[in-house]
């Protein structure tokens, strides 16, 4: 929202200055609030720089400001390591019930855990509402009274394995449980393997260090040059040595899959246990599947499903789908963990495998039940399940209109109001965090669907489209397409799409995924605007579509951004012969990658759903599926007619060599 609308926002938010905020803040809202916005922004900059003195000096100037809780949080958080317990308690009391209170409590619990101050930790933990910090949870699981009713070892493993980076809490808990013989060496090495496969070297070392200093000593060398590490060893004697070889082979598989396979086959296989061999071949198979290597099935044939992790098994399923090996699809999915099997993707492909292999009425009934369990309009595989059941994709019936009382309750929610204010003055990331906290309502188990719809409506009314969409997506029993799939800038988007021969629903599906309709959105790699166009792509496309006098800053102009984004999308769509999945992949990852992902001459023609599931980049794989799912729902909204996702997906295979050469100019 534009800065000039901030005071309007305050007024429309029901008297954000009068009714929503506590009276102590309300008295000084208005002119003073507007004047203090710059101070709040300066405090935010000082917090990011770690400038404690500046934060302390500025804090008195934002007392009674709408965003005072944020200023106070930044000031105390910056010096939390030296703050007196009484200061912390004063903060928690002053801002009781706010996101900032619980955010600071989270930070303090982490610090108390690091200090091993278990008495204070145990006293404060029951008041922690978010309860979503894995590190805090791991610390709690080391304290006997706080872990009652759960198996600490099982829960610590679940939390620890899910963490990407090293942290003190779960590593500490794992070390304690290992020392108490409640976690085995195999449990610890599993974490090291998972971390190494994810290229999280510090996390791998932290895990190995739990075993012994010797175990962690070679992690850096393994990471930097696994081939050299392996070449210096003739035989692996002892568990630590063998596991170090496993880590090195896993690391090598990521950089040179075929070399890893050769080294494993010709030397190390005989020195490793059956379980270790299976894991290494699973890692090799995963990377071979991502690269679409011819030997992928030979690699997976050396594995035992029970020894693989869910990531290995996922890539085994994807490789089997490419080759039409439906029995392998079925057995690999069945070997996944219970949580992984519930993912809509694997529910769908399990059902499809059953239908392909079915020989009994019971198997057909099981397949139908699986499809019915996920069928709906909420996502890609849910929509495919609908169509597999013979049901077209339509807009769901709208929920009953929000009442004036429901809208007023959302407008009077202090967390939502403060979030909108923060976003309006330029503190988007902070505002988003507070919005998410407020809509989750951790202290009472979550907002009801009606409350979520009212919050989504409030965000839509203020054109904070990302919160409108994300909040609407949280509803469990009802779906409101108007807030879940809004259509800002409708005239501009539809007119431009029709002008150049693009499906407006496709454009909307892509913008929703790219920017959530945030006009000034900027990505970490430099993409800008509604359609998230990169500067080099913008310059190239501007020339191609005849946009004269284009300057880099023009990309933030709405109409220019739409013109360039749709122009580029049309160029890649034409380059891929109208394939929406491939054009979406090209828009996200660049055109050269989808060209290689379509397979070499002689590769099979695939359902585009199988092709999309095999995209090696997780971001692009998710992007393609969401853009096509969005597109189908937008088409239902725009046309008012039943739609088909399958018809938009089509088939994907190697380019016909007799067809026109691809546009190699595309950036």
> Which residues are designated catalytic?
514
* ∠ Cα 366 322 296 (to 5°): 115
Are 191 and 177 spatial neighbours (Cβ–Cβ below 8 Å)? no
Strands, E, within 529-650: which ranges? 606-607
Distances (CA, A) of 243 to 144, 185, 188, 275, 648: 32, 10, 11, 11, 47
Q: What is the DSSP letter of 606?
A: E
Max Cα–Cα distance, the chain, nearest Å:
78
**Separation between Cα atoms, residue 333 and residue 327, nearest integer Å:** 10
**Separation between Cα atoms, residue 329 and residue 347, nearest integer Å:** 11
Nearest C-alpha neighbor of 535 from the set 520, 525, 549, 547: 525
SS3 content of the chain, % helix, strand, coil (to 5): 70, 0, 30
**Separation between Cα atoms, residue 337 and residue 604, nearest integer Å:** 30
**Separation between Cα atoms, residue 422 and residue 69, nearest integer Å:** 11
Are 556 and 545 spatial neighbours (Cβ–Cβ below 8 Å)? no
Q: What is the DSSP letter of 441?
A: -
Structure tokens at 207: 């895990």
Q: Which residue has the tokens 């950089």?
A: 255
**Separation between Cα atoms, residue 61 and residue 114, nearest integer Å:** 33
**Separation between Cα atoms, residue 395 and residue 486, nearest integer Å:** 13
270 forms beta bridges with: none
Structure tokens at 468: 């409108």
Three-state DSSP state, 643: strand
**Separation between Cα atoms, residue 640 and residue 451, nearest integer Å:** 27
Q: What is the DSSP letter of 393?
A: B
- Phi, psi for 516 (deg, rounded to 5): 55, 30
**Separation between Cα atoms, residue 217 and residue 243, nearest integer Å:** 13
Structure tokens at 99: 């996101």
Instruction: Measure the CA dihedral 321/322/326/327, to 10°.
Output: -100
Q: Which residue has the tokens 């749709």?
A: 566
Alpha helices in 291-322 (DSSP H): 296-300, 310-322
- Phi, psi for 324 (deg, rounded to 5): 70, 25
């Amino acid at each position: 929202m534009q800065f000039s609308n901030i005071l309007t926002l305050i007024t429309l938010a029901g008297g954000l200055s009068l009714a929503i905020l506590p009276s102590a803040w309300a008295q000084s809202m208005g002119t003073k609030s507007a004047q203090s916005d710059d101070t709040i922004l300066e405090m935010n900059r000082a917090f990011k720089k770690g400038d404690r003195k500046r934060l302390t000096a500025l804090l008195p100037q934002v007392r009674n400001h709408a965003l005072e809780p944020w200023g106070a949080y930044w000031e105390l958080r910056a010096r939390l390591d030296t703050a007196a317990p009484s200061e912390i308690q004063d903060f928690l009391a002053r801002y009781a019930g706010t996101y900032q209170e619980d955010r600071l409590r989270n930070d303090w619990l982490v610090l108390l855990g690091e200090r091993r101050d278990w008495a204070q930790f145990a006293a404060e933990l029951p008041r922690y509402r978010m309860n979503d910090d894995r590190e805090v949870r791991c610390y709690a699981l080391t304290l006997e009274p706080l872990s009652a009713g759960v198996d600490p070892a099982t829960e610590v493993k679940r939390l620890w394995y899910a963490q990407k980076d090293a942290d003190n809490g779960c590593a500490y808990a794992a070390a304690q449980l290992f020392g108490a013989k409640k976690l085995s060496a195999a449990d610890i090495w599993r974490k090291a393997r998972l971390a190494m496969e994810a290229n999280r070297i510090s996390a791998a070392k932290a895990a190995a260090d739990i075993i012994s200093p010797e175990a962690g000593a070679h992690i850096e060398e393994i990471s930097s040059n696994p081939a050299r590490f392996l070449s210096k060893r003739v035989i692996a004697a002892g568990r630590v040595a063998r596991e170090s070889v496993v880590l090195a082979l896993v690391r090598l598989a990521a950089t040179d899959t075929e070399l890893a396979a050769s080294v494993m086959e010709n030397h190390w296989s005989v020195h490793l246990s059956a379980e270790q061999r299976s894991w290494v071949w699973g890692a090799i198979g995963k990377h071979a599947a991502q690269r679409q290597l011819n030997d992928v099935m030979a690699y997976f044939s050396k594995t035992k499903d029970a020894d693989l992790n869910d990531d290995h098994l996922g890539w085994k399923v994807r490789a089997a789908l490419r080759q039409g090996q439906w029995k392998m699809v079925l057995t690999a999915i069945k070997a996944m963990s219970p949580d992984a099997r519930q993912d809509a993707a694997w529910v769908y492909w399990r059902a499809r495998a059953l239908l392909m292999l079915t020989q009994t009425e019971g198997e057909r009934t099981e397949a139908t039940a699986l499809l019915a369990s996920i069928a709906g309009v909420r996502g890609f595989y849910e929509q495919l399940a609908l169509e597999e059941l013979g049901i077209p994709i339509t807009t769901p019936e709208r929920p009953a209109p929000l009442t004036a009382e429901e809208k007023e309750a959302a407008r009077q929610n202090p967390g939502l109001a403060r979030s909108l204010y923060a976003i309006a003055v330029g503190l988007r990331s902070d505002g988003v965090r507070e919005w998410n906290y407020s809509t989750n309502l951790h202290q009472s188990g979550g907002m009801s669907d009606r409350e979520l719809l009212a919050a989504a409506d409030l965000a839509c009314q203020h054109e904070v489209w990302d919160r409108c969409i994300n909040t609407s997506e949280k509803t469990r029993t009802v779906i409101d397409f108007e807030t879940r799939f809004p259509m800002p800038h409708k005239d501009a988007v539809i007119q431009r799409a029709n002008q150049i021969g693009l499906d407006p629903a496709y454009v909307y599906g892509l913008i929703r995924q790219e920017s959530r309709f945030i006009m000034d959105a900027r990505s970490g790699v430099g993409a800008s605007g509604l359609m998230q166009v990169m500067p080099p792509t913008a310059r190239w496309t501007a020339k191609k579509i005849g946009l004269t006098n284009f300057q880099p800053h023009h990309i933030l102009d709405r109409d220019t951004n739409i013109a360039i984004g749709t122009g580029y999308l049309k160029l890649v769509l034409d380059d891929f012969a109208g394939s929406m999945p491939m054009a979406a992949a090209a828009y996200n990852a660049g055109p050269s990658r989808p060209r290689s992902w379509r397979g070499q001459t002689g590769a099979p023609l695939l359902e585009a759903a199988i092709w999309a599931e095999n995209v090696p980049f997780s971001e692009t794989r998710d992007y393609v599926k969401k853009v096509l799912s969005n597109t189908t729902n937008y088409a239902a909204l725009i046309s008012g007619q039943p739609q088909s996702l399958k018809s938009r997906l089509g088939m994907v295979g190697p380019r016909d060599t007799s067809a026109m050469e691809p546009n190699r100019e595309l950036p």
